[in-house]
Structure 1
Amino acid sequence: MSPTRIGPADDPAPRAVEFGRARVLITNDDGIDAEGLRVLERLVAPAVGELWVIAPDAGRSANSMMMSLRRDVAIEGRGERRFAISGSPADCVLIALQHLMVEAPPDLVLSGVNHGANLGDDLNFSGTVGAAAAAAVDGVPAIALSVGHGAEGHAGGHDFRQVEARGLDLIHRLCAAGFAPGGLFAVNFPDAPDDPDAPALIRPAGRQGRGFSLEASGPDRLRVRHHGDRGVDVGVCDYDAVRRGRIAVTPVTVDRTDHRVLRRLGETV
């Protein structure tokens, strides 16, 4: 896999990570007891230099990069280098970098494996991607990993077999390809692979359209519903890849600047 360039030609070279010797932090947004986190932990633990798990004590989906300002966040030890945090996924990364791992920060942050795909517009809302983005803001390479819902949705559970079979090799490849400054990768595994051994496809994020809606849950009460994985973009994108039963890898950057408009407008307006 050749390095994926996501910025101008004069960008600094991508930063590779030597995965086999790396100090790795695992986090997620489904909570420290989630099956997807356990799958990732089992997969990564024997393959890296040192593993830490710092994750929310309960589900914190759709938290994006929310930080828990103006309230206490509790830290609960769950074993050696394993902690549950009463905050958001981004809180977990902040606590790792500035408190629990401050003497020896992680070389790589892995977020997931999320219970449900994070495609298209959901990259903006996902707590799984938000944790990886919080690491990237601080200059730490990061990968967010997710797996799609089955035909029966949440009730049908999630099939992590392709993650277990392909995840470690894919993480190795992305670490070797390197991370742009402020860059991360979003990886989405299909629930039903068309060809479990087919190469992952590098794809841009598609468009979901209105992925959230409101429904009444009582007098003067509303509940937010997420419709998930229903991309309206029929072009070549992450949705298209996953719908075809392929793994989608999307390079993401935390740089919010629209460089096309910046070049068009110049320095004054």
Structure 2
Amino acid sequence: MFELPMDLSKARILISNDDGIHAQGIRVLETIARTLSDDVWVVAPEAEQSAASHSLTIHRPLRLKKVGEKRYTVDGTPTDCVLLAINHVFKDDQKPTLVLSGINQGSNIGEDVTYSGTIAAAMEATLLGVPAIALSAHFERRDAIPWETAERWGAEVIRKAVTVRWPKNVLLNVNFPAVGPDAVTGIHVVRHGKRKIGDELMERVDPRGRPYIWIGALRGESEVAPDTDIHTVFNGGISITPLFLDLTHNPTLQTLKQAFA
């Protein structure tokens, strides 16, 4: 099922996200996908699931609802959506040949990838043997997200990405910068850098006098080397980063083998 390079004109494309079925980003991604293939499906969360990471719902039943032609919602996580799509919606039919996740409202760069539901949907597809690309749009103001940049460049990024092979346990992470489409400085294949969410914790008291803590959105940009996604996106470029799902650190594996020999 994991077939690359790929003829997109013959592809069955599955779209999901973590912002939910009604998000602007998924509408933009549908528009892009329909320029690539006539066979486009959507299975997305019925409500926002940002920062859900690769969580799977196992303590309650899930409800899959058809909301249109080739369009479904799931009352669960992005991982649930892709799992149900591939193993249930398509159980008696041709499986999707490509999964696109996004377009997320906000970038997924650096350590964001460990929290992101957008990445998680692509991760689940990869684990199920389907090539996957996660796409996100950086913004500086929530009311001024340059969706037109993603719409202008998205098809080109996807077309070029599937002209080459990548391993079965690799997914692609794409981030569009917070600039207009004509101001994009290029498409750059880079590693992901380091930045940490949650350094700012805001403690408050609710109307009933009970304290609570809100995890802030400020992030420390601790690594902005030119060959990273952080530097690329913050300087107007589109970043593409291959993410490897085998988390084994082989040098330490060998060191530990010696210790326990």
Q: Same fold (TM over 0.5)?
A: yes
Distance change in 2, residues 1:233/1:76 (3 Å): same
Structure 2: which 5+ residue stretches go unaligned?
Answer: none
Looking at structure 2, the residues matched to 68 and 243 of structure 1 have their Cα atoms a distance apart, in angstroms, of 35
1:23–1:107: 8 Å Cα contact kept in structure 2?
Answer: yes
Alignment partner, residue 87 of structure 1: 76
Please report how far the alpha carbon of residue 141 of structure 1 lies from its aligned counterpart in structure 2 after TM superposition: 0.5
Deviations 1:131-158 (A, max 9, x none): 10111111110000001112xx22x231
Structure 1: which 5+ residue stretches go unaligned?
Answer: 1-12
Alignment partner, residue 203 of structure 1: 190
1:14–1:179: 8 Å Cα contact kept in structure 2?
Answer: no
| Structure richer in strand, relative to its length | 2
Report the 3-state secondary structure (helix = DSSP H, G, I; strand = E; otherwise coil) of the residue aligned with 1:232. strand
* 2:154 aligns with one of 163, 167, 171: 167
1:227 and 2:218 aligned: yes
| TM-score when normalising by structure 2 | 0.90
2:152–2:181: 8 Å Cα contact kept in structure 1?
Answer: no
Distance change in 2, residues 1:242/1:91 (3 Å): same
Looking at structure 2, the residues matched to 140 and 124 of structure 1 have their Cα atoms a distance apart, in angstroms, of 20
Looking at structure 2, the residues matched to 193 and 241 of structure 1 have their Cα atoms a distance apart, in angstroms, of 15
Q: What is the identity, as a one-letter code, of the residue corresponding to 2:106? A: G
Distance change in 2, residues 1:244/1:182 (3 Å): same
* Count of paired positions: 253
RMSD value, Cα = 2.1
Report matched runs for 1:96-245 at 5 Å: 96-103=85-92, 104-150=94-140, 153-154=141-142, 156-192=143-179, 196=183, 198-211=185-198, 213-217=200-204, 218=206, 219-227=210-218, 231-235=221-225, 236-245=227-236
Distance change in 2, residues 1:222/1:141 (3 Å): same
Report the 3-state secondary structure (helix = DSSP H, G, I; strand = E; otherwise coil) of the residue aligned with 1:185. strand
Structure 1 runs of 4+ aligned residues shifted over 3 Å read 193-199, 210-214, 263-268
| TM-score when normalising by structure 1 | 0.87
Distance change in 2, residues 1:19/1:231 (3 Å): farther
Please report how far the alpha carbon of residue 195 of structure 1 lies from its aligned counterpart in structure 2 after TM superposition: 5.5
* 1:66 aligns with one of 55, 58, 68: 55
Looking at structure 1, the residues matched to 229 and 150 of structure 2 have their Cα atoms a distance apart, in angstroms, of 17
Distance change in 2, residues 1:232/1:194 (3 Å): farther
Looking at structure 2, the residues matched to 133 and 167 of structure 1 have their Cα atoms a distance apart, in angstroms, of 19
Please report how far the alpha carbon of residue 205 of structure 1 lies from its aligned counterpart in structure 2 after TM superposition: 0.7
Identity across the alignment (%): 33
1:26–1:53: 8 Å Cα contact kept in structure 2?
Answer: yes
Looking at structure 1, the residues matched to 3 and 91 of structure 2 have their Cα atoms a distance apart, in angstroms, of 24
